[in-house]
Amino acid sequence: MTWSAASSLALFAQQAGNKAGANPAGPTSTQWVLIVVGMIAALLFLVFLFIFFSFIRLWIQALLTRADISIFNLIGMKLRNVDYGMIVRQKIALVQAGVRVTTEDLESHFLARGNVPKTATAVIAAHKAGLDLPWKTAAAIDLAGRDVLEAVRTSVNPKVIDCPDPAKGKQFLDAVCKNGIQLLAKARVTVRTKLERLVGGATEETIIARVGEGIVKAIGSAHDHKEVLANPGMISQTVLHSGLDAQTAFEIVSIDIANLEPGENIGAKLAGDQAAADLRVAQAEAEKRRAAAVAREQEMRALVEENRAKVVEAEAQVPQAISEAFRSGHLGVMDFYNMKNIQSDTTMRNNIATMTGGGDTGPGRN
């Protein structure tokens, strides 16, 4: 093609030279127009050759692999600033793997700033593994920020998650049986990615939290820690059948108890703390009663002093009553002296009883 174009240009130039020789006055306006048209045609032809040889290799590859990409598709991708070489290679890989996808889907995913090579690799791997992963679903997962290739790998080859996560600084789960014994547990959760729930499904953190909650609940429902230590599988079975993977991007394959060991006697410790608290309450109540008793004693002492003052006051009124009785004639002189003799006799008896150690000085003694 290049040789024929050069021959045409040489023939055109020779004819123009012959005409110029025949016309000593120089080329006419028509000849100048023909020359300019020929030069433009030659320039356009060179541009076409450049574009053709720029895309010919990729176009031939797409043609031989039945990728259904025309030369005009390549030119359009070039004008839209799309990495057409990468698009062609990924389209060829998808077609050779038996995946049906259009060039427009690849191009739109690239323009949406998606990772076309990783998405194509994930779709091919899922197709080879017999998993249903359409291109649009894989593109949505990739644009959502998830690692679609890692998800396919996890779906084919399940991975193990530690519960609790050692990266969070906790090595064991703490749970207490009904008898008060603490158990320290560590589990390994095997999960498989569910591709249809990957968009909008919860992540590994949710799986770890739910499994941890299930283990604590299973241990807490056991009556004796010896039962759990003798059969750790009861924890796994209880947690596994709880449907903990609902609304998550994973399917729990198995839950294995990696480590289970007894800890402190939490029940005894709590009972001791409760006894100490009860003792403090009792001491507070006793102190309250003692304070009330002291206050009551002080009140009684004040009452005694008050009554004693009343007695003293009453005794002070006795002489006045006697004198009043004399004046009114109710008391005679002999009655007065008899009363004085009785008082003297009573005083003497009290003194004798005090000297001899006698205790009864009441009116019944003679």
What the chain holds in terms of domains, given with CATH numbers, is 2-153 (no CATH), 158-269 (3.30.479.30), 323-366 (no CATH)
Query: What is the pLDDT at residue 27?
Result: 60
Q: Is 359 left (phi over 0), alpha (psi -120 to 50) or beta?
A: alpha
Query: What is the pLDDT at residue 282?
Result: 93
State how far the Cα of 104 lies from the Cα of 108, in Å rounded to an integer: 6
Query: What is the pLDDT at residue 231?
Result: 85
Contact 274, 282 (CB under 8 A): no
State how far the Cα of 185 lies from the Cα of 158, in Å rounded to an integer: 23
User: The whole model's pTM is what?
Assistant: 0.57
Tokens 């008082």, located at residue: 343
Which residue in 212, 215, 261, 205 sits closest to 238, CA to CA? 215
Query: What is the pLDDT at residue 54?
Result: 66
85-96 pLDDT per residue, tens: 888 888 888 888
- Please state, as a whole number, how many other Cβ atoms lie within 10 Å of the Cβ of residue 319: 9
Regions of the chain short of the pLDDT cut 50 = 1-13, 16-17, 19-25, 361-366
Query: What is the pLDDT at residue 247?
Result: 83
Angle at CA of residue 200, ends 195 and 205, nearest 5°? 90
State how far the Cα of 203 lies from the Cα of 251, in Å rounded to an integer: 11
Query: What is the pLDDT at residue 177?
Result: 87
Query: What is the pLDDT at residue 48?
Result: 66
State how far the Cα of 126 lies from the Cα of 139, in Å rounded to an integer: 13
Query: What is the pLDDT at residue 164?
Result: 86
